[in-house]
Structure 1
Amino acid sequence: MMGRITIMLGLCAGIAGCSEAETETETGADTCGAAAYQTHIGQPVEELGLTAGDKLRILGPNQPMTMDFRMDRMNIETDSAGQILRVFCG
């Protein structure tokens, strides 16, 4: 009985490992269009003329954000002066 439980736990761990690998591969893709904004890093976010919404988050320093991953959502991280630090999907 104990051997069966060990085997089942091992299989579950293996399946979980596979799903994590797939997620990492998918996150590497530019599914939200962030690549088009990489040239704006270091510039003021206001110059983009974008409005935050369901598919766009503009994040200031130390601003809390939800950890739900959405491949179609673009995130723009800014510093305290409003300069763009990073643009990424998620």
Structure 2
Amino acid sequence: MPWKSVSLGLVVAASLLAGCSSNPESSSTEPSASAPVAEAGHTRCDAAAAQFAVGQPASAALLAQAKSKAGAQEARFIGPNDMVTLEYRSDRVNLNTDAGGKVTRVNCG
């Protein structure tokens, strides 16, 4: 009787440890430098490419340009008192504005 519970415990422990192991060959793939890919096939945002927008007044045309230059799927303005969700989206560019409507910061998320 005790051998059954000991062997059952060993089987459970072995299966838990096997689930935690990783295959180094599958995790060694590196993303392409030309178009980094995020989850679900979306391209990642490159905030550095949209830094030209800092200091400019917010407009729909500026938002479209920043989205295109950053390679983002989504773009939005965030005002000083705007409420935003805490989700991080690597395919979205954010243009933060001051109370006067000028872009003060560009970031992804």
TM-score (norm 2): 0.47
The Cα offsets for residues 27-80 of structure 1, whole Å up to 9 and x where unpaired, read as: xx9x31322220221111215153x9x711211111100000111111110011
Assess if the C-alpha contact under 8 Å between 2:74 and 2:93 holds in 1.
Answer: yes
CA RMSD of aligned residues (A): 2.6
Q: List structure 1 segments (4+ residues) > 3 angstroms apart after TM superposition.
A: none
What amino acid is the match of 1:67?
L
Q: What does residue 55 of structure 2 align with?
A: 42
Assess if the C-alpha contact under 8 Å between 2:63 and 2:76 holds in 1.
Answer: no
Correspondence 1:89 to 2:108: yes
Percent of aligned positions that are identical: 42
CA distance in 2, matches of 1:63, 1:80: 11
Q: How many residues align?
A: 60
- Equivalence map 1:47-86=2 (5 Å): 48=62, 50=64, 55-86=74-105
What amino acid is the match of 1:60?
G
Unaligned runs of 5+ in 1: 1-28
Is the partner of 2:50 in helix, strand or coil?
helix
TM-score (norm 1): 0.56
Q: What does residue 20 of structure 2 align with?
A: none
Unaligned runs of 5+ in 2: 1-35, 37-43, 68-72
CA distance in 2, matches of 1:72, 1:62: 23
